[in-house]
Amino acid sequence: MGELTSVILPVFLVIGFGYLAVWRGLFSNEGVDALMRFTQTFAIPALLFRAISTLDLRAGFDFALLGTFYTGALTGFVLALFGARILFNRPWEDSVAIGFAGLFSNSLLLGVPIMERAYGTDALGPNYAIIAIHSPFCYGIGITTMEIVRARGAPARQLPQKVLKAMFSNALIVGITLGFIVNLGSIPMPSVLTDALDLLTRAALPAALFGLGGVLYRYRPEGDLRTILYVCLISLIIHPAIAWGLGRSFDLSDEAFRSVIVTAAMAPGVNTYVFANMYGVAKRVAASVVLFGTALTMLTAWMWLAILP
């Protein structure tokens, strides 16, 4: 138990420092916005670019690995979407944003540091294979569904253009795409450039975790408790449980299996709120799900780590 606590607790302490700093007025909301803009627009895209540009695509992109994770993620989207609509009587636009919360795990800001502390840097290959298509997959599903719901009778031919424009306005997807171009094209990178990018990426996770704490303080939960808990159940229990069953049926290696379960067991990420804010719907639920889910992950991640091989 002590070893598992030492793996998880430092990650949440950094988030807690950010929460405390904003709460006590030591760090302003404007500072949080600037920090998150730096991490989301520059540092994390650079991290994803470097990881994917150097990733062994043949070894990393295994159908069983990706199928295991994304089947659970897509199931989470469907359950959260129709649960919000049928069980909680939310409008369709709200339901799509809530569905996105059941789809988008915090694979990078929580999954990577917890996995790295638990199993070391060398174990992160499968994590980056999942992350490489995480934003394109999730935003593709979320934006397409939202545009279909919002269109209601508009010409279907306009849909692909709207989806692609929205997706490639996202810096994370741009970083991922450029990483694939460099990797697949075997494009040489000057060492001075890779060294500069490596300096930038070292700041990505700690700065983003600190900023996440500030974001969570700003969007404190208000109401909608049943909806919030329902999405947390999907994200923290149902998604990893589905991944566990599929991972065993596909006979994943221990390394791949650990990455899938740890990533699937993470709370909804800040992009959950970004997506809701982009469309101006269910923002309170999205922010509260991130806050509640992140807090509950301290307990549920410990549980999943305890039973992993």
The domain that contains 229 carries what CATH number? 1.20.1530.20
Tens of pLDDT along 40-60?
889 888 888 888 888 776 665
Mean pLDDT for all residues in the chain? 86
Q: How confident is the model at residue 37 (pLDDT cuts 50, 70, 90)?
A: confident
Q: How confident is the model at residue 147 (pLDDT cuts 50, 70, 90)?
A: confident
What's the total number of domains in the chain?
A: 1
Instruction: Give domain status of residue 300, yes or no.
Output: yes
Query: How confident is the model at residue 59, as a pLDDT?
Result: 61
Instruction: Give domain status of residue 42, yes or no.
Output: no
Query: How confident is the model at residue 86, as a pLDDT?
Result: 96
Burial of 61 (0-12, 13-18, 19+ CB in 10 A): middle
Burial of 67 (0-12, 13-18, 19+ CB in 10 A): middle
The pTM of the full predicted model, rounded to 2 decimals, is: 0.79
Identify which has the larger pLDDT, 18 or 208. 18
- Within 8 A by CB and 6+ apart from 35, the residues are 207, 210, 211, 214
Instruction: Give domain status of residue 5, yes or no.
Output: no
Instruction: Give domain status of residue 146, yes or no.
Output: yes
Query: How confident is the model at residue 60, as a pLDDT?
Result: 59
Q: How confident is the model at residue 221 (pLDDT cuts 50, 70, 90)?
A: low
Q: 85, 121, 127: which is closest to 102 by C-alpha?
A: 85
- Structural domain including 120 reads 59-190+223-307
Query: How confident is the model at residue 2, as a pLDDT?
Result: 47
Across the range 14-18, mean pLDDT stands at 88
Instruction: Give domain status of residue 14, yes or no.
Output: no
Across the range 100-127, mean pLDDT stands at 89
Identify which has the larger pLDDT, 87 or 44. 87
Identify which has the larger pLDDT, 155 or 124. 124
Cβ neighbours, 10 Å, residue 169: 11
Side chain identity, residue 150 = R
* CA dist., res. 239 & res. 30, Å (int): 35
Across the range 186-208, mean pLDDT stands at 89
Identify which has the larger pLDDT, 52 or 253. 253
Do 264 and 106 contact (CB within 8 A), yes or no?
no
* CA dist., res. 279 & res. 99, Å (int): 14
Query: How confident is the model at residue 275, as a pLDDT?
Result: 84
Share of the chain above pLDDT 90, in %: 39
List own/partner pairs for 186-191 with CB under 8 A and 24 or more apart: 189/53
Q: 95, 102, 97, 98: which is closest to 234 by C-alpha?
A: 102
Query: How confident is the model at residue 153, as a pLDDT?
Result: 59
Query: How confident is the model at residue 223, as a pLDDT?
Result: 65
Do 130 and 66 contact (CB within 8 A), yes or no?
yes
Best mean pLDDT range from 1-15, 100-114, 159-173: 100-114
* CA dist., res. 118 & res. 6, Å (int): 9
Residue 216 in this model has a pLDDT that exceeds 90:
no
Query: How confident is the model at residue 1, as a pLDDT?
Result: 44
* CA dist., res. 284 & res. 277, Å (int): 9
* CA dist., res. 224 & res. 43, Å (int): 34
